[in-house]
């Protein structure tokens, strides 16, 4: 596409920036997630030219939130191209970066002060949508030329979740090793967003029950605390903020001892692959860590022996 270039005197560039920062340009379409969010596409992430749909998918537009001592360590670098996309490419000599702000009605481009190179380093990102815009400039002597065309990029930081888990009311708490229960044991989990890490605001953000999550249930015999015991049907990927597991097969829970139960929760791999990131996996103990639910399996007694005592013949 041939670039449409405006000629600006170097002394007028500051005035041009002020006009844009005041929102004089037409408002743009805000990113809005589809519901449910089952994959990356549903979040509408990527680049769009001149504020016009469609959005073109780009890698690395979803990030997990990561923090240290309550401070976000999540970040990335946006890199603009060295040349434009005209038939005879021009090399940019500087750039103008904007962060798009959204108030629920309209978008406003706000210039990122002091950033004129092709790389825009962003750090301490909070959960939610982000939208940035870049213009390229070409300086030639006493004039600066800027294209009418620009590109936006939309990316998203996933918000941490906080799971809880409890047994169904009236659940069994003990059985004998040789008398396997005939009733099922139901474990229930629910999710909320981590209240300590809020969305950074602006664009519409999906609620926790709109995301597809993967739940993995397991048990631990406290006599062997380092061994996770897989439970039949224990992995479920579902949309919504709740999940249940009903145990009807107790074959993995027959070793005498006291069992605790847990659920691990992560965002669906179709949304973002976790790749063993510890900060993208959240665990809840059934019943809580203070007074956890316990299932006690009592060992069956062995055969008694008989002796003859107190003989009187």
Considering Cα of 8, then 12, then 13, then 15, what sign does the dihedral take?
A: negative
The reported pLDDT for the residue numbered 240 is: 87
Joined together, the tokens standing for residue 40 give 């990356």
Work out the average pLDDT over 26-35: 69
The whole model's pTM is what?
Answer: 0.86
Euclidean distance between CA atoms 248 and 182, whole angstroms: 7
The reported pLDDT for the residue numbered 25 is: 32
Joined together, the tokens standing for residue 85 give 């996309």
The reported pLDDT for the residue numbered 9 is: 35
The position carrying tokens 């992430």 is 45
The reported pLDDT for the residue numbered 141 is: 80
The reported pLDDT for the residue numbered 230 is: 92
- What confidence category does residue 30 fall into, taking pLDDT thresholds of 50, 70 and 90? low
Q: Determine what percent of the chain is predicted with pLDDT higher than 90.
A: 78
The reported pLDDT for the residue numbered 4 is: 42
Cβ atoms of 274 and 281 within 8 Å: the answer is yes
Instruction: Enumerate residues 6+ apart whose C-beta is below 8 A from 113.
Output: none
- Which pLDDT tens digit goes with each residue over 264-286? 999 999 999 999 999 999 999 99
Tell me the pLDDT of the chain averaged across its residues: 90
Question: Domains of the chain, with CATH numbers?
Answer: 5-158 (no CATH), 161-298 (2.60.40)
The reported pLDDT for the residue numbered 122 is: 98
Euclidean distance between CA atoms 294 and 257, whole angstroms: 10
User: What is the CA angle 124-126-131, rounded to 5?
Assistant: 95
Nearest to 270 by CA among 213, 217, 216, 215: 213
- What confidence category does residue 147 fall into, taking pLDDT thresholds of 50, 70 and 90? confident
pLDDT higher at 20 or 147: 147
The reported pLDDT for the residue numbered 23 is: 39
Q: Determine what percent of the chain is predicted with pLDDT higher than 70.
A: 91
- Indicate whether 134 pLDDT > 50: yes
pLDDT higher at 172 or 88: 172
- Which pLDDT tens digit goes with each residue over 203-247? 989 999 999 999 999 999 999 898 999 998 899 999 989 999 999
- Which pLDDT tens digit goes with each residue over 83-96? 998 888 899 999 99
- Indicate whether 15 pLDDT > 60: no
Nearest to 98 by CA among 115, 84, 86: 115
The reported pLDDT for the residue numbered 120 is: 98
Helix (H, G, I), strand (E, B) or coil at 200: coil
- Indicate whether 18 pLDDT > 60: no
Euclidean distance between CA atoms 111 and 39, whole angstroms: 32
Joined together, the tokens standing for residue 219 give 């048990």
The reported pLDDT for the residue numbered 32 is: 78
pLDDT higher at 255 or 85: 255
């Amino acid at each position: 596409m041939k670039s449409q270039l405006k000629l600006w005197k170097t002394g007028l560039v500051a005035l041009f920036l002020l006009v844009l920062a005041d929102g004089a340009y037409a408002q743009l379409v805000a990113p809005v997630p589809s519901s449910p969010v089952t994959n990356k596409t549903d979040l509408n992430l990527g680049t769009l030219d001149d504020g016009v749909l469609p959005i073109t998918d780009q890698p690395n537009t979803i990030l997990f939130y990561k923090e240290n001592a309550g401070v976000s360590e999540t970040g990335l670098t946006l890199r603009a191209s060295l040349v434009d996309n005209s038939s005879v490419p021009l090399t940019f000599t500087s750039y103008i970066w904007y962060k798009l702000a959204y108030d629920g009605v309209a978008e406003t481009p706000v210039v990122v002060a002091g950033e004129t190179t092709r790389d825009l380093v962003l750090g301490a990102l909070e959960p939610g949508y982000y939208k940035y815009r870049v213009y390229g400039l070409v300086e030639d002597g006493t004039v600066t030329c800027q294209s009418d065309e620009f590109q936006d990029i939309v990316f998203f930081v996933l918000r941490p979740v906080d799971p809880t888990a409890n047994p169904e009311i009236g659940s069994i708490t003990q059985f004998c090793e040789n008398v396997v229960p005939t009733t099922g044991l139901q474990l229930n989990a629910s999710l909320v967003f981590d209240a300590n890490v809020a969305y950074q605001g602006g664009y519409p953000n999906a609620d926790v029950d709109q995301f597809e999550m993967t739940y993995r249930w397991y048990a631990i015999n406290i006599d062997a605390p380092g061994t996770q015991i897989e439970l039949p049907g224990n992995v479920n990927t579902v949309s919504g903020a709740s999940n249940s597991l009903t145990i009807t097969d107790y074959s993995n829970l027959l070793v005498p001892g006291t069992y605790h139960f847990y659920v691990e929760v992560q965002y669906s791999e179709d949304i973002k692959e976790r790749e063993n990131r510890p900060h993208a996996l959240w665990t809840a103990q059934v019943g809580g860590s203070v007074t956890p639910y316990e299932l006690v399996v009592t060992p069956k007694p062995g055969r008694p022996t008989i002796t003859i005592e107190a003989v009187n013949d």
